[in-house]
């Protein structure tokens, strides 16, 4: 799939976290497509989807809560480490007390 087939210009905003571990052609195509859409169509691209976005992404009566990552965890980045030195992946998150298990 090439970026021209992804129809990136269909949406006005993309919020996606960086992932230095991903080396696939699809990930590269997505990055190229987002750059193209941003430059050609004014598409908004943000690389910060963290717990601090909770409440700012609500649409109508739909409330969106971002459970993870926290900004501090996100700053470590995939391939980096958290504040305790544990290796992070694009699927890393830290469960908070009283937080429900997710499926």
Domain boundaries, the chain: 3-47
Give residue 80's pLDDT: 87
Answer yes or no: are the C-beta atoms of 38 and 45 closer than 8 Å. yes
Among 54, 50, 6, smallest CA distance to 26 is for 6
Whether the per-residue pLDDT at 2 is higher than 60: the answer is: no
Q: 41: which residues sit within 8 A by CB, 6+ positions away?
A: 9
Token couple for 33 = 């497509």
Reported as a single tens digit per residue, the pLDDT across 18-67 is 887 878 888 888 888 899 889 988 999 988 888 999 999 898 999 999 88
pTM above 0.85, yes or no: no
Coil/strand/helix, residue 49: coil
């Amino acid at each position: 799939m090439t970026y021209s087939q992804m129809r990136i210009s269909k949406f006005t905003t993309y919020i996606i976290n960086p992932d230095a571990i991903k080396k696939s052609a699809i990930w590269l195509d997505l990055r190229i497509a987002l750059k193209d859409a941003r430059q050609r169509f004014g598409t908004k691209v943000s690389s910060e989807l963290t717990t601090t976005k909770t409440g700012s992404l609500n649409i109508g009566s739909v409330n969106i809560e971002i459970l993870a990552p926290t900004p501090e965890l996100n700053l470590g980045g995939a391939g980096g480490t958290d504040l305790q030195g544990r290796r992070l992946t694009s699927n890393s998150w830290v469960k908070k007390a009283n937080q429900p298990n997710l499926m």
